[in-house]
Amino acid sequence: MATDAARRRLKALDVMERLKRLDTEREARSTAQLRDRMARLDSEKQALLQRLSGESRIEGLEGAPYLGRFIRSIRAEVDRISHEAAILAPEVAAAEARLRDALSEQKTFEILRLKRITEERVAQKKREDRDLDELSLMRWRR
């Protein structure tokens, strides 16, 4: 049977591992939201560039005065999106670093808990072997 101290240690490690798992899940959600935002910006930018390449031709003279404003407007929106993505990129990198750290800490507590369980099993096996040895000696002495 495991000692009270060993049980308390295992329980504490289990609690810490669960807390770190929750922290990791929170960081993963945050990182996913930032990545989704980056992907949306990229898709918006690609859609605008496609629109620019597809709609920048004019058939007649009546559209000529509007073409310059259209191109400037699309370019301004692409620049705004690029600027927003450039600002968001360090946030994504920081979120990914926090996620890696959280995963590392969670794994550390998992490894410690599993190591303690293994150590306790080995100790239990040694106690059982010692008890069996004592029983064998007692029988032999009779």
3-state SS of the chain?
CCCHHHHHHHHHHHHHHHHHHHHHHHHHHHHHHHHHHHHHHHHHHHHHHHHHHHHCCCCCHHHHHHHHHHHHHHHHHHHHHHHHHHHHHHHHHHHHHHHHHHHHHHHHHHHHHHHHHHHHHHHHHHHHHHHHHHHHHHHHHC
Give the pLDDT of residue 45.
Answer: 94
Whether residue 142 is predicted with pLDDT greater than 80 in this model: the reply is no
pLDDT band, residue 2 (cuts 50/70/90): low
Over the stretch 106-137, which tens digit does the pLDDT of each residue have?
A: 999 999 989 999 998 998 899 999 988 888 88
